[in-house]
Structure 1
Amino acid sequence: MADFDPVAAGESAKKERKLRNGRNYTKRPSKLEPFRNEIAKMYIYGYSLDLISIYLHQSHGQKAARSTIQRYLKSIGITRNG
């Protein structure tokens, strides 16, 4: 029967965990990213989120809810008043 070394086993597990954590992580790009400039310009010029959504569907075939567009604008730091 072989001797079990708990310290060596624990250290080996720690090394494995360190290798697993954060491996190859890249944030998934938004589906709205290709239309960033168009969305931002329309929003700054005062068009509603609903109209921006309709425009994206008409011209690019991209469906996006108003809340998705609002969240995207917030994530890229675009605000209308200030």
Structure 2
Amino acid sequence: MKAVVHVMLKQGVLDPQGEAVRHALGALGFGGVEGVRQGKVIELDLAETDRDAAEATVREMCEKLLANTVIESFRVEIA
């Protein structure tokens, strides 16, 4: 089973990497980009065969390691 985790900074948390990307896009001639938020995608290959158990395990992984839940939110997709 495969899990995909999307991690993003929460709204209201400053995103210096996103701002750097926005600035660089403007310097390259891509006008009109008013904001950029940068996150990360984590793909996991799991031995688990039960979808609900896999999602619960991945959520626990996110809360303990993969996301800093104080400043980041995450979304889990199980495929």
Q: Which has the higher strand share?
A: 2
TM-score between the two structures when normalised by the length of structure 2: 0.30
TM-score between the two structures when normalised by the length of structure 1: 0.30
Q: Which has the higher helix share?
A: 1
- Please say which structure displays the higher CA radius of gyration: 1
